[in-house]
Chain A
């Protein structure tokens, strides 16, 4: 069973609309959770980090939330743009500097 589950696997949204991506994890002890953005043909790039004490953090049009009690995180994209078309990967750091990866949310923004 995958230790980090992301949903939906893929979605298509109209330019200008909002969307929310989900990440549920089971690993422990929790250290932090990062969201990465991976453009087609490129390596993933960090968007934001969530630590145990943080509930919400924004990076431009991206807002991440974390509920450490339920082990859930979300990434909300506001007023989507064509450049938001990418895969969004949830990565949880736990234990002795171990990392668990989700399989990614594939987002396609259409005009």
Chain B
């Protein structure tokens, strides 16, 4: 049971290049999330998928696209990378029960992305 797996762990891009960050979870969770974390800003939601087949914008979606490939996998794509997208990216998953209080986020180990 690996939990949430993100790849790659590190990536350096040139401005204008594209790339896809991969995320997979093996906990059969309904919801998956992509966050970015910048110094002094905390975690900010980029996109989320409440269930397989649905995706929604979060707080900072500009410059990103996502795909919920199946229940396990949720990818984040940068079509034309910009220096402002230099950040640490975290994927997370969460099981959702109506009225349950034990639901929580499970995070991957993060991707350190630098855009030059």
Contacts and interface: CB of A to CB of B under 8 A. Distances in A.
Contact of A103 (B40, B50, B101): B40
Nearest to A34: B104
B42 A49 contact: no
Interface string B31-52: 0000000001111110000100
Given A41-B110, A97-B96, A46 B104 contact: yes
A7 B101 CA distance: 25
B81 interface: no
Interface residues of A, number: 20
B107 A45 contact: yes
How many chain B residues sit at the interface, stated as a range, is 10 to 19
A11 to B, nearest CB: 16
B103 to A, nearest CB: 8
Interface string B85-99: 000001010001000
A103 B41 contact: yes
A6 B92 CA distance: 22
Contacts of A99: 45, 105
A42 B109 contact: yes
A99 B4 CA distance: 19
B109 A43 contact: yes
A22 to B, nearest CB: 15
B111 to A, nearest CB: 10
A101 interface: yes
Given A34-B104, A51-B101, A89-B43, 12 more contacts: A44-B43, A49-B101, A49-B102, A89-B42, A91-B105, A99-B105, A101-B42, A101-B43, A101-B44, A102-B42, A103-B40, A104-B42
Interface of B: 4, 40-45, 50, 90, 92, 96, 101-102, 104-105, 107-110
17 contacts: A34-B104, A34-B105, A41-B110, A42-B110, A43-B90, A43-B92, A44-B43, A44-B107, A49-B101, A49-B104, A89-B43, A99-B105, A101-B44, A102-B42, A103-B41, A103-B42, A104-B42
